[in-house]
Chain A
Amino acid sequence: MGMAIFKQSNGMYAVNIVASCGVLTPDQLAGLGKAARDCGVFRLKLTTRQTIVAVLDKEQIPRLVERLPELGLAVSPYGGAVRAVKACAGNAALCPRALGDALDLGIAIQEQYLGREVPKDVKIAVAGCPRGCTDPLCADFGIVARGAGTFDVFLGGRGGSAKPVHGQLLANRVAREDIFPLLNHVLERYTALAQPKERLSAVVARLGLDPFLPPPGLITADDAQETVDEEFLAFLGGKGSDQSG
């Protein structure tokens, strides 16, 4: 696994900085701004993966990098590694359209999997509803909330390249706590099945979804028709017309 530090056309270097799915406290942002000033950063750019790229001179890179941990930030991994997780603002406190808590799940996944070695980059996106502001169907492992604690998982998407591909539904209505064993399973199967530097989307295109399907008992996916809550049925069947508002 490498570090995402790249030489730019102007001779400067870009350092890709990861936060918690793009969420920064004012102190973190101010601290990064101060560090950037101290290190002579030329520009800061927001990326499509919800990371921040700092462009600066090569000799200033170590100074900037050593300031990041105290701010709760890190240099993004590069190469064959799980990349920064994209998550929308879907949670109980933020986006009112969210059906489930995508942001906290995305942060938890990133904390656990960022930088994990895999044959080629693995991109994960989490969305709080089917609108999919984080493009979950264009991710290697895309997660879309179906309810407060249930998620659909799509596998093998790829947003970039000349031949973009949408992920396929791997499992539906997966409980939040089951997302982690499912992701473990997918990464293990991907590592075992991929040819050198083969993207997950290419493996799925070559072998189909079957090798990635969760074995029985790994998750408690609920394919059954949703059943209505008994409390509602009791309320509905209550006596006569209710004018109480």
Chain B
Amino acid sequence: MIKVGSTIRTSDQVDLGAMITPLQKICAECDRYQTGECKPPACLVGFALRSLQFAKKKGIMDIPGAASHIPHTDLKHYFVENIVPALAETCRQCRECRDNHSPDCVIALARTCLENAVLEKNIPYPGSVFMYLAMVKKQNPAVAELLAKELQNK
């Protein structure tokens, strides 16, 4: 069993709270919020939120093996306008690790979940926001435009 936090990277370098807030907003507007139907392990937004909250609680950046538990079978409909602010925040917080990128990094976990909610395919993060926008645009120009506007807002 690999222990959580099995890298020495800590969450001090990023603002996990900034990514948590827009996800909580999505949850609050969900019909299943605070009902027995709310199942975070089976929900893309719930999984992203719980991953970030767990990382914040533990002060870690990586959750080894977590990427294999992303609920790709979540077929709920998500409104792009709700997802984009959260997706933009993952871009802002990304440390651009490039060759050192880990799919189990909590930022990557959240981004992967949010992409699954609005895009057909996941995008291998190229290490820069500009390149990422170009790749999103290739797949979905409308999402890319909203994302670009959101990133310009702050």
The one of B9, B53, B57 in contact with A99, judged by C-beta atoms closer than 8 angstroms, is B9
CA distance A237 to B64 in the complex (A): 17
**Cβ distance B146 to chain A, nearest Cβ, rounded Å:** 25
Contact yes or no, A226 B8, CB < 8 A: no
Q: Which residue of A lies closest to B63 (CB)?
A: A232
Assess whether B24 is interfacial by the CB under 8 Å rule.
yes
Assess whether A131 is interfacial by the CB under 8 Å rule.
yes
The one of A229, A241, A245 in contact with B3, judged by C-beta atoms closer than 8 angstroms, is A229
CA distance A55 to B52 in the complex (A): 54
**Cβ distance B9 to chain A, nearest Cβ, rounded Å:** 7
A residues in contact with B119, CB < 8 Å: none
Contact yes or no, B8 A228, CB < 8 A: no
B33-48 contacts to A, CB under 8 A, are 33-36, 38, 40-41, 46-47
Assess whether B116 is interfacial by the CB under 8 Å rule.
no
Contact yes or no, A243 B27, CB < 8 A: yes
Contact yes or no, A229 B99, CB < 8 A: no
Contact yes or no, B64 A147, CB < 8 A: yes
**Cβ distance B22 to chain A, nearest Cβ, rounded Å:** 12
Assess whether B69 is interfacial by the CB under 8 Å rule.
yes
**Cβ distance A99 to chain B, nearest Cβ, rounded Å:** 4
A84-125 contacts to B, CB under 8 A, are 91-92, 96-101
Assess whether B152 is interfacial by the CB under 8 Å rule.
no
Contact yes or no, A97 B100, CB < 8 A: yes
Contact yes or no, B4 A243, CB < 8 A: no
Contact yes or no, A100 B64, CB < 8 A: no
Contact yes or no, A97 B9, CB < 8 A: yes
B residues in contact with A100, CB < 8 Å: 7-8
0 or 1 for each of A226-240: is its CB under 8 Å from B? (1 = yes): 111111110111101
Assess whether A129 is interfacial by the CB under 8 Å rule.
yes
0 or 1 for each of B56-82: is its CB under 8 Å from A? (1 = yes): 110000011110110000000000000
0 or 1 for each of B112-134: is its CB under 8 Å from A? (1 = yes): 00000000000000000000000
Contact yes or no, B65 A229, CB < 8 A: yes
CA distance A231 to B4 in the complex (A): 8
The one of B2, B12, B97 in contact with A226, judged by C-beta atoms closer than 8 angstroms, is B2
The one of B6, B7, B34, B41 in contact with A237, judged by C-beta atoms closer than 8 angstroms, is B41
Assess whether B153 is interfacial by the CB under 8 Å rule.
no
Assess whether B142 is interfacial by the CB under 8 Å rule.
no
CA distance A229 to B3 in the complex (A): 6
Contact yes or no, B64 A240, CB < 8 A: no
Assess whether A159 is interfacial by the CB under 8 Å rule.
no
**Cβ distance B59 to chain A, nearest Cβ, rounded Å:** 12
CA distance A228 to B5 in the complex (A): 11
Contact yes or no, B9 A226, CB < 8 A: no
Assess whether A210 is interfacial by the CB under 8 Å rule.
no
A residues in contact with B68, CB < 8 Å: 225, 228
What are 6 residue pairs bridging A and B, where the CB atoms are less than 8 Å apart in the complex? A129-B100, A228-B69, A241-B49, A242-B40, A243-B24, A245-B53
- Tell me the A residues contacting B by CB distance below 8 Å: 91-92, 96-101, 129-131, 147-150, 225-233, 235-238, 240-245
Contacts A100-B8, A131-B98, A147-B7 supplied; 13 other A-B pairs, CB < 8 Å? A91-B8, A92-B8, A97-B95, A130-B99, A147-B64, A226-B65, A228-B66, A229-B65, A232-B54, A233-B41, A240-B38, A243-B24, A245-B17
The 10 closest A-B pairs by CB, nearest first: A228-B65, A229-B4, A99-B7, A147-B6, A240-B38, A241-B27, A226-B65, A92-B8, A226-B64, A129-B100
